[in-house]
Structure 1
């Protein structure tokens, strides 16, 4: 009996492989537990179509991430923060502040968890890195001024 593995099976193979197994093992264990499907022509065509669609989706996401990275390389955002008595910032500029400023000033809606920087406690210009997924990252400029 030929089966298409849906999940990795220890000692048999990885997901996506077609294996020849005994009928009882294939029907009772692999198909019964949802680890495999019977390798018919329809199932194989459906699997190949799903794999192709997944590859196209990933390629689209990568191209969108690269496009966003190139757009963000020219972005400069400004954050105004209160100054304390000694000239340092009153508090600090957090990732949440940066994400909000990026959305308000430039219209980019990003998750604050994808922003890579430390808490900023002084005024000045900073390079902020942003993880976009698929091992693509972008950098943009952040200017912190006191008010």
Structure 2
């Protein structure tokens, strides 16, 4: 069974805000809708999304330049996250997107929405890791994250 959803945020591999997609019921019910990434499709919801899309289009041109400036700022800096680690360099737990956003803020960077931070694989070791941040449609930043022992 599939459910028709309207995405309210960008979801990697699925679409951007305002897209109408069909996904499996469980994915919609257990992941997308509770996290506020999508809402169940209806005619009224689609009209509301059209209004949001129109207002975003007006702001898009200026925000692309702003997002590019933020991207340049983010990519120019190395960010540090501390974590408790064992003898082999393995962390007790993983580095979360919330910790990454706090690290960027502590280093004097912009406020990032933790949902815009994409970690390809869980960060469970000390060392340098690459993290992707979605700033705007088509504008992404590659962060360099250094995980050090606490």
Find 2:136's aligned residue among 133, 136, 140.
133
| SS at structure 2 position matched to 1:140 | strand
What corresponds to 1:80 in structure 2?
82
Structure number with larger C-alpha Rg: 1
What corresponds to 1:3 in structure 2?
none
**Which structure 2 segments of 5+ residues have no match?**
1-53
What corresponds to 1:26 in structure 2?
none
Following superposition, the deviation at residue 84 of structure 1 comes to 2.8
Q: Spell out, residue by residue over 1:58-97, the C-alpha distance to the aligned partner (whole angstroms, 9 max, x if none).
A: 2111110111111111011111111135541111111111
- Asked if 1:120 corresponds to 2:134, the answer is no
**Superposed CA RMSD:** 2.0
Kept in 1, the 8 Å contact 2:70–2:110? The answer is no
Q: How many residues align?
A: 96
Q: TM-score, normalised by structure 1?
A: 0.59
Q: TM-score, normalised by structure 2?
A: 0.57
Kept in 2, the 8 Å contact 1:115–1:128? The answer is yes
Give the Cα separation in 1 of the matches to 2:85 and 2:134: 30
Structure number with the higher strand fraction is 2
- Asked if 1:90 corresponds to 2:92, the answer is yes
Give the Cα separation in 1 of the matches to 2:138 and 2:128: 25
Specify whether residues 90 and 60 from structure 1 end up closer, same or farther in structure 2 by C-alpha distance, changes over 3 A only. same
Kept in 1, the 8 Å contact 2:74–2:109? The answer is no
| SS at structure 2 position matched to 1:91 | strand
